[in-house]
Structure 1
Amino acid sequence: MRPGEVDGKGYYIVSKEEFLSMVDKSELLKYALVYGDYKGISKKHFRNYLAKGYDIVLRVDTQGAQTLTKTLTNSAVFIFLVGESELELVERLIDRKTETAESLLVRIATAREEVKHAKNFGYLVMNAEGR
């Protein structure tokens, strides 16, 4: 859990053991190891929100989008969100003060790879500062 995150507000935090148990029981819509942390989407929570009539917005990486494309077929819209430039991304990450130098390099390298997959999304949105 990062500083400022609260279990149940935007995220549900579970132990590594509980997460791996959920994987074994096929309780996750999608899951992955991202930047050293396990991340996933609970089928139960997903279905509960759908049953209530909510539109669901998921923030996933390209790997997650690829998995969800297969699972959700034509019932989802995929939007690739990109910053104005790599420099802007680096500045935002530095301003967050949550990254070590090593993790910053990993995130930059990952972003470089992920942008290559933008063409696989239905929409591309530029996250421009102040707009």
Structure 2
Amino acid sequence: MIEQNPQPTYSNAMLKPGLVTALGVMTLVSGIINILTGLGITTATVLATLGIGLICAPITFLPAILGIFEVLYALKILANPPVPVQFSQTIAILEILCIAFGNAIALIVGILALVFYNDAAVKNYFDRINAQPAA
């Protein structure tokens, strides 16, 4: 006999606004691109300088570290059921600073993240999910 688990139902109060979903998807894509950019820049620098560029690896690896944080943050935003998470202005600002590594996509995502967060529905959503007691 197969048991079926009923799907959890959420009230309208917990529906995720489209801008929050867009923010999560854009942050996830930006994170993946930053990981690939960081690894690519580091690999290219090390290979182009025959290993001497390994000294610069901590600097060239910074986008990959930001990418890991972006992916983890995006997975929390996109989680179903919603997980309490605060809006990360720090990640948005660091995405904007990724233009120093030639990553224009992260720049655009960072600016859009700051703009999206100023939307009333997005602020209200983050306030609601953080006001709930953790189960």
Structure showing the higher helix proportion among its residues: 2
Which structure exhibits the higher relative contact order, with contacts defined as CA atoms closer than 8 Å and separated by 6 or more residues?
2
Q: TM-score, normalised by structure 1?
A: 0.29
Q: Which has the higher strand share?
A: 1
